[in-house]
Amino acid sequence: MKTKTKALALIFAAVLLCSALFSCGGSMTEESAKEILGELLPKSYEFNDVFWGKGLDIVANPSSDAYQPVESDVYKSTKDMLDAASEVFSSEYIESIRSSVFASNEEGGIRARYIDVAGVLKKDTTNEGFDNFDSVNGKIDISSVKILKQNRHTALLSLRYTDGGETELTLVLENGKWLLNSPTY
């Protein structure tokens, strides 16, 4: 009798532990999505401009080298930039940023936008970036969020732009935090 009671108690404890472990974090409501997007979207807009828009300012330098030192109190290296972006974007999306912003492809004629040279963060001045980010940054209407699909680790959201267009964003749960897994431009 004691063995059966112990066995049942252990099974019950295991069920409680499993439900506690697997019920954490993954559930999202439209209200929580608004809160998460309210935190992530403004930061993503800044990164859009840094990575694909105007970019970071450079130090005035008479050198004719295409890569010029960056003037930034926040970023001292490409690692600093990627570390900061990883607080907003998923690891999968960070890899796409890494390959498109921080890697060169000589065969394809693509130069890294930012590089580290002897401990100095430099920007490719021949890459002027896209000038249309001002037209889309900040234009996603967070109040319009609708959850299209979700599971414990992913949420697909539908949102409207303030000018009437529509977009979909994916959030991914990584290390207990929801992060963007799609572009916000």
Q: Is residue 185 part of a domain?
A: no
Q: Is residue 7 part of a domain?
A: no
β-sheet with 114-117: strand ranges across: 67-69, 120-124, 114-117
Q: Is residue 138 part of a domain?
A: yes
pLDDT > 60? residue 123: yes
Q: Is residue 3 part of a domain?
A: no
CA separation for the pair 68, 124 (Å, rounded): 7
The pLDDT tens digits of the residues spanning 160-171 come to 998 888 999 999
Sign of torsion over alpha carbons 169, 103, 58, 119: positive
CA separation for the pair 2, 21 (Å, rounded): 28
Q: Is residue 100 part of a domain?
A: yes
Q: Is residue 156 part of a domain?
A: yes
Q: What is the pTM of this model?
A: 0.80
Average pLDDT over residues 129-147: 80
Q: Are 132 and 125 in contact (CB under 8 A)?
A: no
Provide the domain count of the chain: 1
In the block, tokens 């969020």 appear at 145
CA separation for the pair 181, 160 (Å, rounded): 18
Q: Is residue 161 part of a domain?
A: yes
pLDDT > 80? residue 30: yes
Q: Is residue 15 part of a domain?
A: no
- Domain of 113 in residue numbering reads as 28-180
- Find the range with the poorest average confidence among 97-106, 111-120, 126-135, 175-184: 126-135
What is the CATH number for 84? Answer: 3.10.450.420
The pLDDT tens digits of the residues spanning 63-113 come to 788 999 999 999 999 999 999 999 999 999 999 999 989 988 777 678 899
